[in-house]
Amino acid sequence: MPKLLLSLVALAAGVGLVRGAIKTPENAPIEITSTGQTTYEGGLATARGNVAIHVGDTDIYADYAQYNSTTHEVELRGNVRIYRGVSFYTAESGIYNIDTKQIRAINAKTESQPYFLSGEAVTEISENAYRITNGTFTTHDSSKPDFHMRAHTIRVYENDRVIFQNVTFYIGNVPVFWWPYMYQSLNDSFSFLVSPAYLSSWGPSLLTQVSFPITEQIRARLRLDYRGRRGLAVGLDSTIDYGKDDSSTAKIRSYYIQDQNPNLNQTGVPRKDVPTGRYRLSLEDRTNFTQDIYGIANITKLSDQWIMEDFYPAEFRIDPVPDNVVALTKINPFFTLTGIARFQANQFFTTTERLPEVVLDVKRHALFGGPIFYEGETGFADLRLQFPQGSGFENYGTYRFDTFHQLTYPNTYFGWLSIVPRVGFRGTYYGKTWDLGTTTFVPPSNPLVPDFILPPPTLANPIKFNGDTFRTVFDTGAEASFKISRRWEDVQSRAFGLDGLMHVIQPFTDFSYVSESGANPTSILEFDRFLPSTQLRAIDFPQFTPIDAIDSWTVWRVGVRNRLETRRDDETMTWFELDSFFDVNFENPYDRTDYSNFNNNIRFTPLPWMSFTINSQVPAFAKGFTEVNTIARVQPLANLQLEVGHRYLNDNPFFNSSSLFVVGGYCRLNDNWGVGAQEQYEAATSTLEEQRYSVYRDLSSWVASIGGVIRDNAGVKEYGVIFTVTLKAFPKFGFDLNFDPTSQGQ
């Protein structure tokens, strides 16, 4: 068979008779071989039949090829395949320029993992960048992909981005969405989720969301939802990176629904006068102005107080009352200066407005380089407590100037005993106080309820203001601790994950004395106020934050910490830990018993796939309440995860007694199937509060899940079924059967 071998030298000799030497990029040799007829005439080298061309890092194969030594272009026809680096192109015909490495092809395809492209015409616009006309884009490696995008024009910049114009998204051969323009980062990918659902308060529903980048710095998520009992809803979320090195981020979330049944209620809490036009608009922003100055903004505007509960149940469970605050912070190794503006954007929530508050926080540091450490906090605030509109309570406010200073002297004695004595002073000025008049206070019958808390003033019984006051607080005390340890190197057990064992015992104590003077604590208008909790409060400053609820106290906290440590993966890890402590109340306005509950916190992690936690407190020495929170997580098999939890609370004056069991798990049956379940049972009321069941199926480029939920909300039953299909080829998607796809994919 005839065979033509052309190198740079041969081409230069042949063409040199007419034009002189041929120059190629960096003088790279061109090699053309074929099994058919070959000719060379007028600067054109032509080859037919199984043509192979090799130049630099590019290999070209075709049925026919003609190289033009003047333009340095190769015309290709029939079964064209071009390999360049890690890229691969196929086409019916095309032209390849050896100088610019540009490709102009017809009916071409390219494969550049993890995506695949094809189109009627491909033109390379620069190195590693090309334009496709009437093209398709997919990540599914199949001749019949599960999904693809078809666009009039596609511009591809390898390992960077793809830009579409006039693009339609297809599932199979069914068009489901259209954009006039779309920017697709190859690092932050497109995602699509569709969820047919049924919920008692929604009716038959279809929830969809499409996540896609708009530019390299802007990512968006579009939501189109339809609920049979509610109506059509639309939302757009976006994340914007900006500033130097894109270090600043703004997240904007919006949602609107023209609710057909706004007063529909599946809970035991009554509601009325809910608007039909319901919306949520929020901004979460962090701007880094310099390396040491940054600002934050968390703003949420709601149409009504129930929209989060109705349409964002997952977020509502975590944060039922969104905050509205803007702050500017200057950080320094020795101090932090913060300016805060907090306001009532939603008049149906109680809000402590700070318009503004400026706080200088001096971090603990050695005073003049000596052994004594200083820390302090000084702030000024214009405060106003705003109650919900129409609640009947009266708003009130005042100016407050607060300054706190404390000295500590940490030291170690005898080489093993750590003692940290402290002494501090706080002065607080209030522009107004509460005129108590002849008010008589009757101590509450329960000693766990503070006796200085007044009910908020009402419009029928308005507040009587008194003049200004200056309150002083003196605090002193000391912390002390030491450690004792013993090793057992011969303790070895693969079954319990033990490679040697060390027992560390650390007794600790903290004595706190606080003397408040200058004002009756009950007359202080409370903004940073006492909030009920089941946990022991901090007895040190500045850890004790409700400064308007400060009263005199003398408390001694005593405890011991036990840790069993072992080696695992060349690191020391805590195998078992037990913290035991209680308070001796010489004087405690928040707990008027002689002793607090006896607290025990247990954390046990015998193996990487097994953990147990028990946090408990019992009234061992005096009257109190009982609380035991238990949770166990195990993964006994690679494909099986189980979780069991129990919360027990009894005789707490602020919270209802409860004995809540939560049981759940997930089982991966095989490569394609998985099942999950969770149940929540309240034994105190004999109520099965919630049941969740789900089945997952891997569908090549998609993951489908179907699940059901049954809730009992104070006797009101709610039922739901949700079916979700998630695009897997572009990952970064999570699964959560929470009937709130608006919060998924975060």
Find the CATH number of the domain harbouring 85: 2.60.450.10
C-alpha distances in Å from residue 698, one per residue of 152, 173, 664, 726: 32, 20, 21, 10
Residue with tokens 């209620």: 265
Distance CA 210, CA 193 (A): 6
C-alpha distances in Å from residue 706, one per residue of 195, 312, 720, 746: 9, 20, 11, 20
Q: List b or e across 195-210, with b for residues whose CB sees 16 or more CB atoms inside 10 angstroms.
A: bebbbbbbbebebbbb
| Tokens of residue 258, six digits | 């023209």
- Tell me the mean pLDDT in the region 304-333: 91
Contact status, residue 280 vs residue 308, Cβ threshold 8 Å: yes
Residue 382, pLDDT > 80, answer: yes
Q: What is the tens place of the pLDDT at every residue in 148-173?
A: 888 888 888 776 777 888 888 887 78
Considering the domain boundaries, does residue 585 fall inside one? Answer: no
Residue 69, pLDDT > 60, answer: yes
- Tell me the mean pLDDT in the region 715-725: 80
Compute the C-alpha angle 42/47/52, nearest 5°.
130
- Closest C-alpha to 477, from 426, 516, 423: 423
The overall average pLDDT reported for the chain is: 84
Considering the domain boundaries, does residue 190 fall inside one? Answer: no
Beta strands in 214-334 (DSSP E): 218-227, 231-242, 248-258, 277-288, 293-302, 325-331
Count of the separate structural domains present in the chain: 1
Pick the more confident residue, 27 or 661.
Answer: 661
Question: For residue 594, what pLDDT is reported?
Answer: 92
Distance CA 140, CA 732 (A): 16
Pick the more confident residue, 171 or 558.
Answer: 558
Distance CA 741, CA 194 (A): 9
Residue 701, pLDDT > 70, answer: no
Distance CA 336, CA 375 (A): 12
Please list the alpha-helical segments (H only) found in 559-713: none
Q: List b or e across 455-464, with b for residues whose CB sees 16 or more CB atoms inside 10 angstroms.
A: eebeeeeebe
Contact status, residue 296 vs residue 340, Cβ threshold 8 Å: no
Q: Calculate Rg over the CA atoms of the chain.
A: 36
| Tokens of residue 475, six digits | 């605090």
Cα-Cα-Cα-Cα torsion 111, 114, 119, 124, nearest 10 degrees, comes to -70
pTM as predicted: 0.74
Distance CA 17, CA 27 (A): 19
What is the rounded end-to-end Cα distance, in angstroms, of the chain? 63
Considering the domain boundaries, does residue 699 fall inside one? Answer: no
pLDDT interval class at 56 (50, 70, 90):
confident
Distance CA 340, CA 355 (A): 7
C-alpha distances in Å from residue 401, one per residue of 397, 406, 469, 524: 13, 17, 11, 13
Distance CA 261, CA 41 (A): 82
Out of 212-226, 436-450, 666-680, the most confident range is 666-680
Distance CA 634, CA 440 (A): 56
| Tokens of residue 201, six digits | 């308060």
Distance CA 400, CA 266 (A): 43
Question: For residue 186, what pLDDT is reported?
Answer: 64
Question: For residue 105, what pLDDT is reported?
Answer: 67
Percent of the chain topping pLDDT 70 = 87
| Tokens of residue 646, six digits | 């129990």
Residue 744, pLDDT > 70, answer: no
Contact status, residue 615 vs residue 608, Cβ threshold 8 Å: no
DSSP character for 9? H
Q: What is the tens place of the pLDDT at every residue in 472-525?
A: 999 999 999 999 999 999 999 888 888 999 999 999 999 999 999 877 778 888
Considering the domain boundaries, does residue 197 fall inside one? Answer: no
Which run of H or of E encompasses 473?
strand 469-481
C-alpha distances in Å from residue 620, one per residue of 149, 506, 596: 67, 22, 8
Counting beta carbons within 10 angstroms of the beta carbon of residue 337, is it exposed (0 to 12), middle (13 to 18) or buried (19 or more)?
A: middle
Which run of H or of E encompasses 454?
none
Residue with tokens 């805060």: 340
Distance CA 657, CA 509 (A): 31
Considering the domain boundaries, does residue 251 fall inside one? Answer: no
Beta strands in 85-185 (DSSP E): 87-97, 103-112, 115-126, 129-138, 147-157, 161-171, 174-185
Question: For residue 15, what pLDDT is reported?
Answer: 29
Considering the domain boundaries, does residue 544 fall inside one? Answer: no
Question: For residue 11, what pLDDT is reported?
Answer: 31
Distance CA 546, CA 549 (A): 6
Pairing state between β 293-302 and 325-331: antiparallel
pLDDT interval class at 619 (50, 70, 90):
very high
Pick the more confident residue, 54 or 562.
Answer: 562
Considering the domain boundaries, does residue 20 fall inside one? Answer: yes
Helices (H) and strands (E) in the chain, counts: 3, 42
Residue with tokens 């693809």: 148
pLDDT interval class at 387 (50, 70, 90):
very high
pLDDT interval class at 441 (50, 70, 90):
low
Count of residues for the chain? 746
Residue 733, pLDDT > 60, answer: no
Distance CA 453, CA 457 (A): 12
Is 12 in a helix, a strand, or coil? helix
Q: List b or e across 562-580, with b for residues whose CB sees 16 or more CB atoms inside 10 angstroms.
A: ebbbbbeeeeeeebbbebe
Contact status, residue 236 vs residue 282, Cβ threshold 8 Å: no
Counting beta carbons within 10 angstroms of the beta carbon of residue 246, is it exposed (0 to 12), middle (13 to 18) or buried (19 or more)?
A: exposed
Distance CA 742, CA 12 (A): 66
Q: What is the tens place of the pLDDT at every residue in 192-241?
A: 677 788 888 888 988 888 877 788 788 888 999 999 999 999 999 999 99
Distance CA 83, CA 255 (A): 48
Residue with tokens 């049956």: 669
Structural domain harbouring 122: 8-185
Distance CA 199, CA 737 (A): 12
Q: What is the tens place of the pLDDT at every residue in 231-283?
A: 999 999 999 999 988 899 999 999 999 999 998 887 777 888 899 999 999 99
Cα-Cα-Cα-Cα torsion 167, 170, 176, 177, nearest 10 degrees, comes to -20
Distance CA 274, CA 455 (A): 28
- Closest C-alpha to 33, from 9, 57, 1, 56: 1
Residue 47, pLDDT > 90, answer: no
Please list the alpha-helical segments (H only) found in 386-531: none
**Sign (positive/negative) of CA torsion 489, 493, 496, 497?**
positive
Return the amino acid letter for 686. Answer: S
Distance CA 156, CA 730 (A): 17
Contact status, residue 579 vs residue 559, Cβ threshold 8 Å: yes
Q: What is the tens place of the pLDDT at every residue in 503-515?
A: 999 999 999 999 9
Distance CA 734, CA 724 (A): 11
Question: For residue 259, what pLDDT is reported?
Answer: 94
Question: For residue 14, what pLDDT is reported?
Answer: 29
Which run of H or of E encompasses 736?
none
- Tell me the mean pLDDT in the region 624-641: 93
- Closest C-alpha to 218, from 247, 250, 186, 191: 250
Distance CA 89, CA 130 (A): 12
Distance CA 43, CA 55 (A): 18
Q: List b or e across 605-641, with b for residues whose CB sees 16 or more CB atoms inside 10 angstroms.
A: bbbeeebbbbbbbbbeebebbebbbbeebbbeeeeeb
Is 314 in a helix, a strand, or coil? helix
Phi and psi at 243, nearest 5°, equal 80, -175
Q: What is the tens place of the pLDDT at every residue in 85-143?
A: 656 777 778 887 777 767 776 666 666 555 677 777 777 777 667 788 888 887 776 76
Considering the domain boundaries, does residue 703 fall inside one? Answer: no
Out of 159-173, 627-641, 710-724, the most confident range is 627-641
Pick the more confident residue, 38 or 1.
Answer: 38
Out of 42-56, 107-121, 360-374, the most confident range is 360-374
